[in-house]
Chain A
Amino acid sequence: MKEEIAKIKENSMKEINNCKDEKQLNDLKVKYLGKKGELTAVLRGMGNLTPEERPAIGSFVNQVRDELENLIQKKEKEFKRKELEKKLETENIDITEPSKKVQLGSLHPITQIIDEVEEIFLGMGYEIADGPEVEKAIYNFDKLNTPPDHPARDLQDTFYITEDIVLRSQTSPVQARVMENQKPPIKIICPGTVYRSDSVDATHSPVFHQIEGLVVDKNIAMTDLKGTLEMFAKKCLGENTKIRFRPHHFPFTEPSAEADVSCFVCGGKGCKVCKGEGWIELLGCGMVHPNVLKNCGIDPEEYSGFAFGFGVERIAMAKFGIDDMRLLFENDVRFLKQF
């Protein structure tokens, strides 16, 4: 009987090893291990054995069955793997074909600059303030030390709605409104739309944007203004940016300065953008004029402050390499999506 079992083992192993697919394997499983299978038949014949023979033969049969089952399992895994490989091969795709991404829109270049500047000043503890664009002349001019016969009030520079109502020609009226309504310390920036009576060309627009900054507190000095703007210039235009102050004149500040930054295109060596000078005029600034403080209800003996303001379009154009201001307001979607 032992030889019979060994023969079954030998035959079945050979057949299983040679089998070609899963179906054949299943048939073999039935053939040897099924209820009517050859090995099962052998087990049935165990009754004919002597009690002495039974344990040895029994354990031998079990051993053979385990071996067969293991082999079948191994074979099954092999077939499954092969099948998967085959399937995967048919599912192969070209990963270089175009994607199906969601098309993103874009923020306007002016918004991008304003956002960037806002982040820098928010980080320095400034709030963002806002005010009317159709504004009282008194806020746009009078309170800012620009009396009625000042040239800046000419019809050729400012849009008038009535004698008393204008389209603000600067964001400075926001300063005046904030100073009237808030006690120092004041630290604000006010980005916004402003209007001047300039015809449209490559470098002029009757509508443009400014960002104005104002700090009022005790002991605010011009050195603070310089340090603040230096910090701003480095964050906005690059760590190597240098700043220089030139004396200038504005009605609402005294002392006043114009601030130039080292050209962020050529680094100060001189190029087309800075017209060979190495410096780019960035903004006007100064210490808030005592008359302005007084006009807005702040005692110039107790408090001092600084203010600065610059045009957003100029920076956007220089930073993004835009050579015609009109493009910013034409809103051709192909242009907008470049930024």
Chain B
Amino acid sequence: MKASIEWLKEYSDIDVDSVTLGDILTMTGSKVETVDQLGNDIKNVIVGKILEIKKHPDADKLVVTKVDVGNEKLQIVTGANNIKVGDIVPIAKDGSELPGGVKIKTGKLRGIDSCGMMCSIGELNLTLADYPEQIEHGIMILDKKLEKDLGKDITEVLNLKEDIIDFEITSNRPDCLSIEGLGRETAVSLNKPFKNPRKNIDELQVEDKEELEGLKVDIVAPDLCYRYIARMVKNVKIAPSPEWMARRLKACGIRSINNIVDITNYVMLEMGQPMHAFDINSIEGKHITVRRAKNGEKITTLDEQERELDENNLVIADDKKAVAIAGVMGGFNSEIEEDTKTVVFESAVFNGGSVRKTAKKVGLRTESSSRFEKGLSAENALRAANRAVELVELLGAGEAVDGKIDVYPTKQKINKIKLDVSKINSLLGTNLSKQEMIDILQKLDIKVENDIAIVPYFRMDLEFVADIAEEIGRFYGYDKLDSTLVKADTTLGIRNKEQTIQKKVKEVLVNSGFSEIYTYGFVSEKDLELSNIKEEIKKYAITIQNPLSDEYKLMRPTTVPSMMQTLAINANKKNQNVKLFDLSRSYKNVKQEVQKGEVPLQEEMLTVGMYGENVDFYTLKGIIENVLEAIHVNHYEIEKETQNTSYHPGRCANIKVGKDIIATLRRSSSRSFRQLYDFQKSLFSGNEYHKACKICKSK
């Protein structure tokens, strides 16, 4: 959420610079992403008037001008050809600075002194979008009225200075997706009074009506729409917004369109309540219904894209068709047009989860949906509707129609929380008095009556004592909290047997020259196939519903393919003599656990892999014996494994303890695998580490 300092000042005195303000707000929980100080990079650029233009004696494409900058007259050489005598232009004098750190100094151009430079819009970091009457390549020609301001700083004259802070707002604080909310945070953070410029709106009474000029509203899905307010303005004159409004919208990253559309956006930014405006003529039957969409119902949204809906999506509809996807975007069919005369302002509150799902389904995450999905206050909706009408009158954009339609099936619950002073102190580790707590809460508009904290309508996130503790902690100052260590009975911090074994195993392997690898638990169908493991084990693989790609589609039932791939990667990089080990998990859906909603088998496997000179079956056998020795598994037998066709039948062995195979030693013989990865000699062992571990633990 972006906010301009100028707008925030409506709510709180701000007597610190923007960077400091950003730091202070970050420490009270409104994390600042960036502080933009627009216009600060333009220094010493002033308004000048061109008095004469002469040809340059030595250059066809240059002219020599004389410019009046108020207290002096400067000679400036320029190559521009869009200037004429009498033009008012921005002049970068000797010693001035332009965006991007460009410094302007007096110099000679083809032998003629030039005491500065005339600027284009680009050189002042302005855009054609904001100054459509200007040209891109050429000098910026200022309004003739500015003749009275010769010598004055261009940033003042054009009002180019603006400080904008971009906040990262956490999902529990939709109230801070508004200037009002941020203004309140600012006031409390700076310990200043919150100036409520909307007092008139808070106190305004507007009569409830069944109909407004024949318009009626029904909510047929009250589980998804908690409140729907309609207000109306007539004799509307669609026009551009005034500069102050367009400027504030722009600071918050929203483009100005026309007065009515801008008012809906302005109110959303100011109060955090998304609004919608319809042309009354597009509402057939003059009847608005808030209902679920029909399966397959289509609507073309304001961005002229057709979207298909289903019965989980909420729409605003007239008697014939949907005119908006509730909380997401309006329909193209009810858009405000140049000739719109009567406008209906919608200020409604929808179920957050439903808006989020709908926005995802239609692939439109808007300023509106991202606010609704966090759950908005129904009480605030009325303020927003009234504010929109007030702005219409303020801008002279139309006349208010008396009364409002207010369908409010689910009244917003106001949370009341016991102010449990000792619980709050014990949670925070503080020793604050009740009065100190009340003082903080009151600044946040949380009233305390008879030890009960009454949460204001805009703070729906506050439900528990712990929430109140956080508010008190935030403004007492997290930085003032002491650092203590847990005072409790002594607990024993030791590794359990399994963790100890794991450490030992890794130690032996590292000391024997093996490097540990970390691999993804994913495997592709292709690689699982190539690894030639037993068919029954392949069947244990677990499929991810929404994988990133086919490569990451399955959870591996064995870590062997991961080792094979890693050996291959090293071979492709021409690494000689590679010795690796991997101690990680395999995931096996042996008994259809996943389908039953149970957790599948997840066992640790040790895989040792190597290739290179002087590496043979006996090297592998030796290292596995070392590992077993280190974890005190001394009684085991080695048997030739001939059943497993995946590996070289003459060079494959099982290590057994009793009937349990705890390790398999093998040389890769899979031809396809070797061809694919192109290396001749590789050996690895897939070890049923968990079994060895169990034997070791039982000793």
Contact = CB atoms under 8 A, between A and B. Distances in A.
Interface of A: 102-108, 110-111, 118, 121-128, 132-136, 149, 151, 154-155, 159-162, 164-165, 167, 185, 187, 193, 195, 197, 199-200, 206-207, 215, 217-224, 226-228, 230-231, 244-249, 254-258, 287, 289-291, 304, 328-334, 336-337
Given A160-B545, A206-B548, A290-B466, A246 B478 contact: yes
Contacts of B499: 128
Interface stretch (B86-94, B387-395, B513-521, B688-696): B513-521
A102 B623 CA distance: 14
25 contacts: A102-B513, A104-B513, A107-B510, A107-B516, A118-B495, A127-B492, A127-B494, A132-B602, A133-B585, A149-B357, A159-B545, A160-B545, A165-B594, A187-B491, A220-B488, A222-B428, A224-B429, A224-B486, A231-B485, A246-B26, A246-B31, A247-B474, A249-B170, A249-B171, A333-B579
B127 interface: no
A336 B515 contact: yes
A161 to B, nearest CB: 5
B547 interface: yes
Contacts of B600: 134, 165
- Most chain A beta carbons < 10 A, residue from B485, B579, B600: B485
A247 B516 contact: no
Contacts of A102: 511-513
A185 B489 contact: yes
A247 B470 contact: yes
Nearest to A118: B495
Interface of B: 26-29, 31, 170-173, 352-353, 356-357, 360, 373, 426-430, 464-467, 469-470, 473-474, 478-479, 481-496, 499, 506, 509-522, 542-548, 552, 555, 566, 569-570, 573, 575, 578-581, 584-585, 587, 594-595, 597-600, 602
Contact of A332 (B428, B575, B581, B585): B575
A125 B473 contact: no
Given A159-B544, A160-B545, A133 B484 contact: no
A104 B510 contact: yes
Nearest to B510: A105
A332 B569 contact: yes
B171 A151 contact: yes
Contacts of B570: 331-333
B478 A125 contact: no
B517 A336 contact: yes
A136 B154 CA distance: 63
Contacts of B599: 132, 134-136, 165
A131 B493 CA distance: 18
A231 to B, nearest CB: 7
A290 B520 CA distance: 35
Contacts of B473: 222, 247, 255
Given A107-B510, A127-B493, A167-B521, 5 more contacts: A134-B542, A206-B522, A219-B487, A221-B426, A221-B429
A104 B512 CA distance: 6
A60 B17 CA distance: 114
Contact of B481 (A200, A206, A226, A258): A226
Nearest to A286: B470
B546 A215 contact: no
A161 B352 CA distance: 26
Contacts of A287: 427, 466, 469
B546 A160 contact: yes
Contacts of A136: 597-599
B373 A151 contact: yes
Contact of A245 (B426, B481, B595): B481
A110 B518 contact: yes
A126 B597 contact: no
Nearest to B488: A217
A316 to B, nearest CB: 10
Contacts of A161: 542-545, 555, 594
B542 A245 contact: no
Nearest to B489: A185
Given A185-B491, A328-B518, A336-B516, A215 B486 contact: yes
Sort A-B residue pairs by CB-CB distance and give the 9 closest, nearest first: A223-B429, A221-B429, A149-B353, A247-B29, A255-B470, A249-B170, A227-B483, A245-B478, A122-B493
A330 B635 CA distance: 37
Given A133-B587, A224-B485, A331 B478 contact: no
B155 to A, nearest CB: 25
B426 A134 contact: no
B552 A206 contact: yes
B512 A124 contact: no
Nearest to B585: A133
Given A159-B546, A185-B489, A304-B426, A207 B515 contact: no
Contacts of A111: 506, 516, 518
A256 B474 CA distance: 10
A160 B469 contact: no
Contacts of A195: 521
Nearest to A111: B516
